A and B are shown apart, each in its own frame.
Chain A
Amino acid sequence: MGKVAFVVGDDVSTDVIYPGRYMATVLPTETPQYAFANDPALNAKLNAKEVPPGSVLVGGKNFGCGSSREQAVSCLKGWELTIVASDVARIFLQNSINLGLNIITAPGVTASIGDEVVVEGAKVVNRTTGKSWDVVPLPPARQAIIDAGGLIAYTRKKMLEAQAKG
């Protein structure tokens, strides 16, 4: 993790993260350019490649609410952003785990652009302000998917195990 590049508010929906008019593509090579396309400043900052991988986007409550569109996750994964939010909508969290987007739920988390935010043990720490927040741990079933390197790798492993058993 690293510096906070973006701070967004509560209830940031998948319509805001990845507008519906770009849903014709699902390719992870194409979706990143349309991340936050309705927010010209944010989108331009990403496409100018000014934001190094590992930079942090800090969200509020209910981040990623709305549609199940996976592009809303793949477009952020493409820029290798880390998401830290007060809470995350269910399908968005699932999709993040499945695609390997680094996402951390830490209720109450606050930061400003430029702050350095890191995970230390079970806490998110804002090194710039000195404040810290508890991380909500993932259930074991989801951690297993992350540990496998995403859902495709996890499913492949399960499939091969089942085939080996005959």
Chain B
Amino acid sequence: MRPGQVVVGTDSHTTSHGALGAFSFGIGATEMASVWTLGVALNVEVPPTIKVEVTGEFPPHVGPKDLILHLVGKLTAQGANFRVLEYHGETMRRMSTSGRLAVCNMSVEAGATSGIVPADEETVRYLREEAGVTDPIELVVPDPDAVYERVVTVDVSALEPQIACPHTVDNVKPISEVAGVKVHQVVIGSCTNGRIDDLEAAAAVVRGKKVAKGTRMLVFPASGRVFQEALDRGYVADFMKAGAVVMNAGCGPCLGVHEGALGDNEVAVSTTNRNFKGRMGNPKSEVYLCSPAVAAASAVAGVLADPRKGS
């Protein structure tokens, strides 16, 4: 896909593609059959757009996942329903495509139809170097006089690691308010945070340390390619020496369809994107969402832990 394209998928997190400047949204299976038949997306109006202006430099161990969790908490879970979130500001311009993917992926957790980062030189770099695109790339960007329904500003320079607490994604608190919660299982991976820089951040935290007794740590690379790269870079060895289990690439326990099922009254800390009751398969469990750095620090500590404090 390319900037400016309209992309649909039968997955609510199809919004991820907005990281490359596309208007991209999830639809149901029947609607996809209709799109295949007619070649158009029938059931969508042009949504109003909320401009999100992000400024400041992330503190150490704070990053795109903390930004989007903070934003979902601020907007609420339906705050952007039937709207597009369009991301601007120096922080977005400096952000890697991987970070933008995490932000656009979870834009749907504020109800947004789509999350879009206007295409720029980083988009071109990603499409050329990572995706192997060789044809001309047109940078489709907002009109200078584009109209926004409202503007939301976020300064990340003083942002703490953010945690979405059970059982809604907008129940977001800074780590300082929830550190110390006993953790039975840590999950690192998924479409939100299973890319190589996510695994790098987690590996850096657990390297030379051990996963706490009574805590399981599962790592699901987002793809076979990420898995291979994590092997080449030694991250898989870092995880395994720490006592983590590295699973096959894919969705894994995020939505409770395979592997990593939680026991009754267990608590999971996960880099995935949803924590609804029963999301990971067991309605008697609790899920906290966070960044890879927080997840890895929590695995070592056995409790929800602040990666800035070391251990």
Interface residues of chain A, those whose CB is within 8 Å of chain B, are: 11, 13, 15-16, 19-21, 23, 26, 38, 61-62, 65-70, 73, 87, 89-91, 94-95, 97-99, 139, 141-142, 145, 150-152, 154-155, 158-159, 162
Contacts and interface: CB of A to CB of B under 8 A. Distances in A.
Contacts of A65: 77-78, 111, 276
Contacts of B113: 90
Contacts of A142: 43
A66 B277 contact: no
A66 B34 CA distance: 22
B42 A68 contact: no
Contacts, number: 119
Contacts of A70: 28-30
B78 A94 contact: no
B274 A13 contact: yes
A155 B37 contact: yes
Given A15-B255, A21-B281, A23-B257, 12 more contacts: A20-B257, A21-B256, A21-B257, A38-B283, A65-B276, A66-B276, A69-B28, A94-B27, A94-B28, A151-B30, A151-B43, A152-B34
B12 interface: yes
Contacts of A15: 255-256, 274, 276-279
A16 B276 contact: yes
B10 A68 contact: yes
B42 A151 contact: yes
B276 A95 contact: no
B81 A151 contact: no
5 closest A-B pairs (Cβ-Cβ)?
A: A13-B276, A95-B28, A38-B283, A62-B78, A70-B28
